[in-house]
Each structure stands twice: as C-alpha cells, then as structure tokens.
Structure 1
C-alpha cells in the first residue's frame, strides 16, 4: 500500500485548505491570506527563523527572533554588527555555532550577493551554516520552490501516513522520498509550512488528534492503529558525564572577571567564567593565586552529547591583577548575566543564591 501514493496536487490541496484556516501565527511568517494577496516572505526573516529553530522550540525562539530583527532589521545591518554583540544577544539560545555561522552567512550574502539571498537550493547550500534542510526551507518558503522540507514534524507525519516502522535516523531517506512525491507544484511554500504545522498541532508525538486530521482518511497508521508508536527511533547510547571547575571572581569594586572562549568548540566565542577543561577528573586550574572558596554547589547542565557537572569556586581579584589572554574585567554596572550562555548563567545564579562574594 505504500506505493499507492495519491496525486500530490489533490492531496496537497486538502492540506492547504486546512492550513488556510489553521495556520499558526508566527512573527516570521506571512499568513496564507497575505500570501494569496501577493505579499512575499522576506528571505532574511525566513533564514533567521530557520537557523534559530534548529534543535530549538518555536516558543523559545520567538523572543530572540523579535529582538534580533528589531536590532538588526536587514541582513546588511547584521553583517555590520560586532561579533560580541551578536553572541551576547544569542546567549541562552544554545548551539552557539549557529550564531557564528549566522554572522558569516550575513557577511557573505552582503558582500557577494549584494544583500540578496540566492533563490535556489543549490546556491543556498553553498552559504555558511546552511545545510540541506535549511536550504530547502528557505527556497520553498521564501521563493515558493517545490523543494522537500523534512524536519522532525514532517518525518513523523510521513512515518504515520505510510506506516513506516523502520527506525530513525535510518529511515530518513525513505521518508524524504515520500515527502518529495507529495510536494505539490502549487503553493509549495505554504504546503511546506502546512505539513510542519500539521505535525506540530495535530500529528503530535503523543496522543495524535487523528479524528480532526485533514489527512485521516488515507493515513495507514491510523487505519492500522499504530500511529501512537511511530516514528520509531534507534535507541541512543547513554550520555557520558564530564566534570570541571568554574571560577567566579570580583574586584573589591565589584567588577567581574570573565573570559571569552575560543571561537571553535562548545560555547565558541561566548563570554563566560574562567574554568578548567571538562573531562573525567580535571585538576583545579584557577586563573590566579588566591584563597579560593568552594561554594559546595554544583552546576549541572546537559549538552547534546554529554552531561556536565561543574564545581563553583569564588575569590576576590587581588589588587594589581592584570587580565591575560582572553580574560577581561567587566564593570558591575555593565555586567548582565543574561549575556552569558546558560551553563555560565547557572553558575552565577548559584553564586548569588549562596551569597558568594559581594552579594
């Protein structure tokens, strides 16, 4: 039955009718009615939203998107921004390589494409930080090209529509092929968003609302009673746990000692607290000699591939201390913990809760 695929134009029109009535409202999206009236999406805003949404929820992204586009309303504005300002604005959103690639891409589009995004999948794929999914999403949503957009929501919809029991990620190619056949030539940009909305609001991971789904009739998983168990996934290996030390230090006047991390690697380019390497049993490595006090509190944070536990130490910066390498002193009136990545902000919060240093 998996080969009996309905005509994509007819199949797509059913979903588009549903989308016209139920499309989610998002700050980067052009509504179906506006799109029909000839309003075209801004490729800059589509690109920005897609980069932010990688491995991040819509709810978490909305405020970041609005702040970014208010501060840097065009790609030329973003290309001219200072790297530390962009990294600080991104703080807390995670996966910081995205922010570095955001700047790289903005500068390439501005310098090599006159500030206009290329409108084809192949050309978009050559830009920094744009992979197959993002290239397909931009070319489809911003330029109305019939590209196959496959995110987690679409994978789930396709696995259920065709009752695919082969687990992810191995089944990705098959699911993409099925999704590609169903992509219509009419309104492909709206269609791409419609399938994602269907997965996010109706064909949800748990308790899918099959009774009100516009695709309920042909859905094989609904017919076979297997929708709730799909898509299947290959079990993940347990995450290892790494350990480290983090050092929070203030001057007598209240300035904080921070350190900018190397551009490459986790939290690349972000400001944070000086600290040790993260490993099995790292040796303490404070940034200067002092009477360091262990707070007795631990930062616990989970990254994509490992759990992290950091011991917190506090001390006052000695008089005459001169920051070295990537360290700098930030005046207490200029310091904003919101500019720190989440794991570093957790350390600050624990320090303030336990009345460490000058609190």
Structure 2
C-alpha cells in the first residue's frame, strides 16, 4: 500500500504487500477544517505526526459519536504553502482490493459462482491450477506468483514488472493489459499448493477482475459503477483503467528514488496505473471511502453470511494491519479501545491511503497521504504515526 511513497510493491511493509510509504519532510501544517464547528486538536496533532515523519501532506476524515471532522496537514504542492484540500482526489492503491472483493462477493450472493468454486473453468485461457478457488483469490491463499515481484522470507526477490526506481519512472505511462499481468504470473511456479499457505499477491485481484468481467459480460469499471458507485452516490470514485489523469481538486504526489548514486524527486500525480490493475488502480476521496466502507460494514452491500465470510481471517496473514480475511484486515486494537476494527489500507508510488471502520460502520477513519522529497525515509516512522492515529480515533487517547 510507495520511498516517496516508494517501497515494496507488496505493501506499506514488504510483509503485507501494499507498497511501502516514504516521502518529504515539509515544514508547517495548515489549520483544520472542522465539521459543524468542531475543534479537534488531537486529530490535527495526529495528522501532523505524518508530516513530521517526512510525508508531504495528509488529508484526514473521522466520523464518530461527536460527528464528522476533516482536516489536512502539510502542503498541496512542493514549493507552495497551500494545504492539501480536504475533498481532494487521490490514488487509493491496495484499498482497491476491498472494492474488488465486494464485487466478487456480490456475484457469489447472486449465485453466479460459489465461494469455493474453482476459477480455472471460467478463465481457461490462462491455464490456472484447477484447485484455485474464488476464496483463495480473495484471501491470498492461491499460491500465485505476484506479478509485481515476489519477496521471500529469506530476503530474496524474484522480479516482476517494473514498479520502482528509474525503470518505473521511465515507464510510468505504459499500458499493461490485465491478461498480460496474469500470464506473467502463471508462467512462474506456484509458491505453494493452493490453499496450503498465505502470501499476498496482487495477481489474485487481477484474476478476480477478469472473473467479474467474465461472469457479467461487462468491464470491471462498469460493474463497479453499477453496483457500488451509483447506489452509494460516490461522485468522486472511479476505476481509471489506463487513464493517467487525476480529477480536480487534488494534492500533488511525489516519488523519491535513487538512481546512479543520486536521489531524484519526480511529480507522479499523473501516472498510468494499469500495471497494478484492480489490485490497486482506483481513485477516490476520503468522503467516498468513508461512505463506502461504512455501508459495507453495516450490511448495505452484502448479505450477513458473506460479510461474516469476509471477516474470517487466515492465521498466517498477520501484519501491521491485523489478519487478512477476504479483501480486508481484521485488527484488535487492545484494551481500552473499541475492540475490533476492519481495514484495508493501500499505497502506490507517491500515495498512501487509510480506510478503517468499526464492525457496525458507525465509527470510521479515512485518509490520504502524499509523498514529497524528504531525505529521511518516512516508512520507518509510519507504524508509530499510524498507531498514534488509531489510538486517538478508536481508543480516545
């Protein structure tokens, strides 16, 4: 879920798989925009922690028993003083996976496919292992090689498509077809027997995209719009496919990387996200993510039986965000907090996103983090800043 939001394509932490975060230390924080006249200095301070850690900017939105609060910290653009807009668009990275999982589970609810049905027969052109089921795709237990590169416990890496450094910068407007990404993956051996273990693989969610398109006869973007975006009135959410643009308003995102012994910073607000496809290509706002995730957790998008399946986690999937279910993490924040929270954060080069909710959808936290040009690596300070934010919102600290 990106060093200037650069890192492992697998994640904010390599172990998780959501592209690591990293960015710019920028002086100064803009004053918050408080909903309904609220003054929430503790939330503004928590947002400031991310800027102090080296990120370029942050948008934060919290809804709880006190109402809704929005604020921002840092700057909208390097060299400027304007703060990030609290209604700004951003790339949500692997948060996209939660939307993709919801679409697939809606098709399960309609009886178009079973959760434990093998997918190879629906997509015969790829030669997928016939033991791989829908559930395995959504929970990362398929064993499929990660097309963005496979990171192993011993520290070794098998490269996939370029997603970092000068090679990615040079190809950041290149278009990849989803089928191309899946074929790259299936050309590699399975990491393990399907269902035997857990490994975060972006390819699982590209296969899920193609499955949605096969079952419905429509593009992923059309089904997303028909099933989620329009019913929930998410006016600022889209699946851009290969479109490199960014709707206004937005804060600029920067990618910092090393090449030939020199550090460089490039504005990557505009980039072609087809290399990550439905595993991380979506654009949204903190407001739309809040509306969506609250609706999902409160049962407005899936029947209770499938929402329960979504929350069944795999014991080998522990990470900074908890344990992985079907397209989301379940995290226990410990004593003195609300208890369990659901989440799926994400990152892309230059961007990070946060999306949290209580199980009933009543308390939510959504945020965008943008990269800058700090010499320090904010990925190192990210876990502490995130923990402080979660404790502030969900534990009353």
- TM-score, with structure 2 as normaliser: 0.28
Larger helix share, 1 or 2: 1
Larger strand share, 1 or 2: 2
Higher Cα Rg: structure 1 or 2?
1
- Bigger relative contact order, structure 1 or 2 (CA pairs below 8 A, ≥6 apart): 2
